[in-house]
Amino acid sequence: MPAELALYITKYGYLAIFSLIFLQEIGVPNPVPNELVLLFAGYLASVHVLSLTLVLLTVILADFIGTSILYAFFYLFGDYVMDHKPKWLPISKEKIMKLSNKISQREQWGIYVGRLIPYLRGYTSVAAGLLKIRPRVFLTAVIVSAITWSGSYALVGKFMGKYWQQFAGQLGGYESILFLVIVLLVVIYGVRYVARYRQKKKEGQI
């Protein structure tokens, strides 16, 4: 991470963390990936510059609010934007169509998993907006994904402590591992949820 950016985050704390994550979630590119910002925020909590509780609250809200605004924009104006898309707008119709097919089949699960895949996170919110996925369905999925994604990275930064920079330097490999761990947890939760649902149905509670 550039020293100037690290100094900026250290100086302005929660406001800087929120603004950097929020801007990237609505589609404004950052000097560094959000993952590095999240790791550094966790590191600052580990050295007691910031509160871990407030860091988690900040990153989860920035993730949730930013992507919800992106979704709302395409929910309201998406058809017009896609029909009149300027060449410089980095939105691939092919990616949107692929994600749209997956999301339309799975709704909440499609949104949740899509928000956990690097480089497709933003596209997932765009696709959900274009599909006019119900706000309640979308918002439920993204608050859980924000807790999973942003919260996990901040916690990793916290527990890595002074070694966060070495970890950040090898982010590509660890990102894949973290993603696989998250997917495994999702699968386990999904199996347990389906089992409980079937049990309740069998007992006549549904």
In a domain, 165, yes or no: yes
In a domain, 12, yes or no: yes
State which residues form the domain around 159. Answer: 3-169
Query: Does pTM surpass 0.95?
Result: no
- Is the pLDDT at 175 greater than 60? The verdict is no
* Chain segment 105-145, per-residue pLDDT in tens: 666 777 888 888 877 788 888 888 888 888 988 999 999 99
Lowest mean pLDDT among 65-79, 167-181, 186-200: 167-181
In a domain, 37, yes or no: yes
In a domain, 69, yes or no: yes
Total number of domains constituting the chain = 1
In a domain, 39, yes or no: yes
In a domain, 179, yes or no: no
In a domain, 198, yes or no: no
| pLDDT interval class at 174 (50, 70, 90) | very low
Q: Is 85 or 160 the better-scoring residue by pLDDT?
A: 160
In a domain, 178, yes or no: no
Q: Which pLDDT belongs to residue 187?
A: 56
**Cβ-based burial of 17 (10 A; exposed 0-12, middle 13-18, buried ≥19):** buried
